[in-house]
Amino acid sequence: MGLRTALVTMNADLIAQMSCNPAIGGIAKGHLVREIDALGGVMGEVTDEVGIQFRLLNTSRGPAVWSPRAQCDKRQYRVRMKEVLEQEPNVRILQAEVASLRIHGEAGKQVVEGVVLADGRELRAGAVVVTTGTFLNGLAHVGEQTYTCGRNGEAPSVALGEQLRQSGLRWGRLKTGTPPRLDGRSIQWDRFEAQEGDREPTPFSFLTERIEREQIKCHIAYTTERTREVVRAAIDRSPLYSGQIEGIGPRYCPSIEDKFVKFPDKERHQLFLEPEGLDTNEVYVNGMSTSMPLDVQVAMLESVPGLEEVEVIRPGYAIEYDAIDPRELDHSLEVKTIRNLFLAGQINGTSGYEEAGCQGLMAGINAARRVRGEDGVRLERTDGYIGILIDDLVTKGADEPYRMFTSRAEFRLHLRIDNADERLTGLGRKVGLVDDRRWENFGRRQREREVVRGLLGTLRLSAARFPGLGIENGDSPLAAAWLRRPEAQIEALRPWIEAQYGEAVGREGLRSVEIELKYAGYIDQQRRQMDRLRDSGERTIPREFRYEGIPGLSREIRSKLEAVRPETLGQAGRIPGVTPAAIVVLDCYLTLGERRQGG
């Protein structure tokens, strides 16, 4: 966005280090990457460049929930990301520890003015974005052993962690974990079912036309009765169950010991053996996140047929860390009580690269706009999964590590991977993140979609002219109407469309028009619902609005509203426990307030 930016990190070689599974995307996370890309972010492009296995997930279900996932080459991902950053003329990378934030002013009216580094240097800044991940007072657990660390043995951030603990912001302790990494040479690969990538990979970036690289195989494994016995016999040595770990972990991503305890009747659990790259022997055991002692981890692994001789390169571990309660933030990700201070990523209670990436992007946009004296940019829940994620965080907080799911979206059919550019690239251009190359590419795709929509809206199909489409003799449906049939596929019309258009048409563009036509009825219905929600929900609540003394609001609801300080009536309605009746009362009081102000 044209502003001079210092990126301070503990180890410049480990920028974009994937602390857990080197995979990008997955259900709903793939949507986030598409949206990051549509706004001008680089996560999608880099993934397309370094992905070693691509799969489009959920294709047996409706297109709203299709989501791309790629296994990446872990080392290449960070190398490429750093190269991208180094090409940015305004970014200055500094390897240093931020010891504290330079904050000025009395409580409630504070302003951040820069950072102080552990070596004593000071950087002054118009805005600061803190993205410390799991580093704040990080404490790792492998069985009975604990050690302080940030991520995989890196030093934790203690001084900054202490300052934030003392800052008056609410904070909590969360936990996440990772599985052991194995030496691929010690795995008997032929004893596992292979899982191939897609024959035609779906790229993450709208700028990538095709991915033609050869893909690797992953393999599927299962735990056994013996694994269960090993876990049961050692459960009292698990830091999770001995009380050693106090932080709250993600319910949806339990450790293997958690799975055996919580689902005692389940005979076996699925595991995936996923290579971490093309030039390493390290293999990630997806599904076996654990903080059990190393000897138990080895025994668990050896109980899986094909892993009897396995060598562990790195043990699995759990990590506890401080996270700030995201209800301390507004929708621009700025701390409500400390002006110009923005927080993004795992520090806000989320888990996942994509969740972190999209927050970093939004916080960055808003920090830059603040420096330029412009208004903040806020994405609504109807604009994208990024809007949903931020609204959920700042409204409901994060009692456990928050990750994105498609079920969090009210209007799923509207928020698809194929139309993320239509939803967001205009905004990306407006704020100055979408360069000419992306803008022209978007314009070309839009023209293509327009032409295809127009052609299909006038083309009449007949059995004689279009044999094999299941059209009865004498029938001549419009192509757009024919596409609503479940078995109808737009690809069957590609030769005709391209002949009319005069050039090749992208796979994604065709798919996008097909989905619009097939689900037109549902999409219209969702659009009407969105309009209704927007009309009532956008009513703003002044920051200084006083909830006390309003009859009709229970003490409990009042304290929830005071804790969150929602910016709009819509946001107030989404706070758990705030009833529709309370919203009606608030609506009346807002009207009353406006009338009084108007004299």
Ligand X SMILES: Cc1cc2nc3c(=O)[nH]c(=O)nc-3n(C[C@H](O)[C@H](O)[C@H](O)COP(=O)(O)OP(=O)(O)OC[C@H]3O[C@@H](n4cnc5c(N)ncnc54)[C@H](O)[C@@H]3O)c2cc1C
Using DSSP's 3-state secondary structure scheme, residue 128 falls into strand
Which residue number, 95 or 476, has a Cβ lying nearer to ligand X?
A: 95
Which residue number, 11 or 525, has a Cβ lying nearer to ligand X?
A: 11
Which residue number, 282 or 410, has a Cβ lying nearer to ligand X?
A: 282
Q: With CB under 6 A as the rule, give the number of residues binding ligand X.
A: 30
23 scored as a contact of ligand X (CB under 6 A)? no
Instruction: Retrieve residue 250's tokens.
Output: 């993600």
Distances (CA, A) of 12 to 95, 129, 131: 5, 17, 15
Which residue number, 275 or 352, has a Cβ lying nearer to ligand X?
A: 352
Of 20, 361, 490, 582, the one binding ligand X by CB under 6 A:
20
User: What's the one-letter identity of residue 358?
Assistant: C
Which residue number, 116 or 478, has a Cβ lying nearer to ligand X?
A: 116
Which residue number, 344 or 368, has a Cβ lying nearer to ligand X?
A: 344
Identify which of 206, 176, 180 has the alpha carbon closest to the alpha carbon of residue 345.
176
157 scored as a contact of ligand X (CB under 6 A)? yes
> Which range in 3-11, 211-219, 236-244, 486-494 contacts ligand X by CB under 6 A?
3-11
Of 54, 77, 135, 482, the one binding ligand X by CB under 6 A:
135
Which residue number, 178 or 526, has a Cβ lying nearer to ligand X?
A: 178
Per-residue binding string, ligand X, 311-350, x by CB under 6 A, is: --------x-------------------------xx----
User: Angle at Cα 245 formed by Cα 242 and Cα 250, nearest 5°?
Assistant: 115
508 and 205 in contact (C-beta within 8 Å)? no
Instruction: Retrieve residue 8's tokens.
Output: 């301070």
6 scored as a contact of ligand X (CB under 6 A)? no
356 scored as a contact of ligand X (CB under 6 A)? yes
Which residue number, 67 or 134, has a Cβ lying nearer to ligand X?
A: 134
Report, in Å, the least distance between residue 393 CB and ligand X.
13
Q: What string of DSSP letters covers 453-519? A: HHHHHHPBP-TTTSTTS-PPTT---BHHHHTTSTT--GGGGHHHHHHHHSS---HHHHHHHHHHHHT
Identify which of 27, 19, 20 has the alpha carbon closest to the alpha carbon of residue 60.
27
Of 6, 19, 84, 377, the one binding ligand X by CB under 6 A:
19
Tell me the C-alpha distance between 428 and 435, whole Å: 9
Q: Is 453 left (phi over 0), alpha (psi -120 to 50) or beta?
A: alpha
Site residues (CB under 6 A) for ligand X, limited to 58-97: 97
500 scored as a contact of ligand X (CB under 6 A)? no
150 and 156 in contact (C-beta within 8 Å)? yes
Contacts of 275 (CB under 8 A, 6+ apart): 52, 71, 184, 216, 218, 282, 283, 284
557 scored as a contact of ligand X (CB under 6 A)? no
Tell me the C-alpha distance between 540 and 587, whole Å: 10
352 scored as a contact of ligand X (CB under 6 A)? yes
Half-sphere exposure of 178 (CA within 13 A, CB side): 23
167 scored as a contact of ligand X (CB under 6 A)? no
Which residue number, 30 or 352, has a Cβ lying nearer to ligand X?
A: 352
User: What's the one-letter identity of residue 23?
Assistant: A
297 scored as a contact of ligand X (CB under 6 A)? no
151 scored as a contact of ligand X (CB under 6 A)? yes
Point out which residues bind ligand X (CB under 6 A): 8-11, 19-21, 97-98, 131-135, 150-151, 157, 160, 176-178, 253, 319, 345-346, 351-353, 356, 403
